Amino acid sequence: MFKNQPKGLYALALANTGERFGYYTMIAVFALFLRENFGLEPGTAGLIYSSFLMLVYFLPVVGGLLADLFGYGKMVTTGILIMFFGYVALSVPLGGDTVGLVAMMGALLLISLGTGLFKGNLQVMVGNLYDDAKYSDRRDAAFSIFYMAINIGAMFAPTAAVKIMEFAQKELGVSVGDSYHFAFGVACASLILSIAIYYAFRSTFRHVEKSSRSSKKDKKEKDTAAELPPGETSRRVVALILVFIVVIFFWMAFHQNGLTLTFFANEFTAHSSTGLQAMSFDVWNLVLCILIVYAGFAIYDNKDIRTRGIAAGVIVACVAVLIYRYFNLDGPVDVAAPIFQQFNPCFVVALTPVSMALFGWLARKGKEPSAPRKIALGMLVAASAYLIMVIGSMGLPTPNEQLAAGDAATLVSPNWLISTYLVLTFGELLLSPMGISFVTKVAPPKLKGLMMGGWFASTAIGNFLVSVCGYLWGDLPLWIVWGVFIGVCVVSALFMFVMMKRLEKVAK
């Protein structure tokens, strides 16, 4: 699945992995930091948290506009530097008074602005690698690989944050409140690694750093080549806006992992686990399973006997370690509600080669769905994930009734949530990398940065709508709560299918 891709893809993907690792390390503990360090009420902490996320996903619009004028490479480099100074400011313990709060707000502005300059424009550069005719048919696969790299960073970030905080407290004698700053310091280190990767391998993607507007060399000829037939620009922009509308409702449903799905994990799911199920709550066991999947594909994809032998050895070793860890389980494993959020990035990394192999097989038969059709199917898959929650919630009390029950509360197996995350991940793999690929392919050459910013803006709106669903959590039966997400996903999918001919026309 990694064959015949331009080298620039891997350089950009690794640079992005470093940045995302830092970001998710910070996000893993940020809400807790707000309450611990400043003594904020949950509502106030939530407002700061959600406002930051909104900025992170809206500011790529600004980053895209600037990149269309000055070039993608300049904005990516500038973004990393601004983020770095933001994380440095966040890493300095200034206490929980007004000075510390103002400094933190300034740090958040720097981080969100830097992310806005970096994130979308790096993805545009990835897409530009595939404007070359010899790579054009590998665009969707490339974004699957790129998206997998993001989730590798996300998969290990929470563990890194917790471990560095424990080290600071136990080995260095740092207070609980100040230990958060050590976790933010991890983000600084990861950005240094990110920029080092970027410049070390810059030669592999230097040719895609400039936008059609920013390039001064042969500017007249390039501008002429970038011109589209009359009306084509508006048709493409309209098609992208239609996709953006659908994406809003996907993220509204998908990002319930941080809200109603976490509420369900905390209030309705068993708080301990045993046996094979308990194994799944240790991220290193999941990593071993991922290695088995990739080794299996290495055996399938390679004809070289030596390579197959090494892959087979990896599988045997991983299975042996898993068996050893299983027989050395020390009683029940505590299951905290936030730990369920590790399953999505782990599933993304594990299932990316599966999805790529499937679509590669369909492509060879001439039956691979178009990017817009994959997005529509992704919405239907997301709806089916919440159907699992409907079934798993049958017979359960409302959240308020569950709270009133106290120790007599009814708890269900963690497998309901794990299964939901698995199916949601299938939907995400159909929609998110394919959507980004669609934007880079369809966006008019002079508006690529702005259109990628539009993708992130739609994600930001979806993230904002996530909070609306919190108001459903109380007196309503759970099947109604999950039914709302089924409804918005199905309606969005139907909308996509109605507009499919228009969308597929501009994607050709």
Tell me the pLDDT band of 221, cut-offs 50, 70 and 90.
Answer: very low
Which is more confident, 107 or 259? 107
Given a cut of 80, whether residue 72 has pLDDT beyond it is yes
- Mean per-residue pLDDT for 68-79? 88
Which is more confident, 259 or 396? 396
> Residue 333: CB partners within 8 Å, gap ≥ 6?
272, 273, 274, 278, 281, 282
For the residues of 205-226, what is the DSSP string, one character each? TGGGSS-TTT--TTHHHHHHHH
pLDDT for 169-191, tens place per residue? 888 888 887 888 998 888 888 99
CATH architecture of 231-271+368-395+411-508: Up-down Bundle (1.20)
pLDDT for 328-384, tens place per residue? 998 898 887 767 878 988 998 898 888 878 888 888 888 888 888 999 999 999 999
Which is more confident, 162 or 242? 242
Of 180, 202, 231, the closest CA to residue 37 belongs to 180
What mean pLDDT, rounded, does the chain reach? 85
Given a cut of 50, whether residue 389 has pLDDT beyond it is yes
Determine the 3-state secondary structure of 409 from DSSP.
coil
pLDDT for 248-288, tens place per residue? 999 889 888 767 887 888 889 998 999 899 999 888 999 99
Determine the 3-state secondary structure of 467 from DSSP.
helix
For the residues of 290-343, what is the DSSP string, one character each? HHHHHHHHHHHH---HHHHHHHHHHHHHHHHHHHHHHHT--S-EE--GGGGGGH
Quote the CA–CA distance of 100 and 442 in Å, as a whole number.
45
Question: What is the percent of the chain where pLDDT is above 90?
Answer: 31
Q: What is the pLDDT of residue 391?
A: 96
pLDDT for 421-440, tens place per residue? 999 999 998 888 788 778 87
Cβ atoms within 10 Å, residue 261? 25
Q: Where in the chain is the domain with CATH 1.20.1250.20?
A: 1-203
Q: Is the distance from CB of 491 to CB of 279 less than 8 angstroms?
A: no
Q: Which amino acid is at 140?
A: D
Given a cut of 90, whether residue 50 has pLDDT beyond it is no
Tell me the pLDDT band of 214, cut-offs 50, 70 and 90.
Answer: low
- ∠ CA 290-26-55, nearest 5°, is 110
Tell me the pLDDT band of 42, cut-offs 50, 70 and 90.
Answer: low
Tell me the pLDDT band of 494, cut-offs 50, 70 and 90.
Answer: very high
Q: Which of 12-16, 216-220, 320-324 has the lowest mean pLDDT?
A: 216-220
**CATH numeric code, 1-203:** 1.20.1250.20
Which is more confident, 243 or 215? 243
Given a cut of 80, whether residue 45 has pLDDT beyond it is no
Given a cut of 60, whether residue 463 has pLDDT beyond it is yes
Quote the CA–CA distance of 464 and 382 in Å, as a whole number.
19
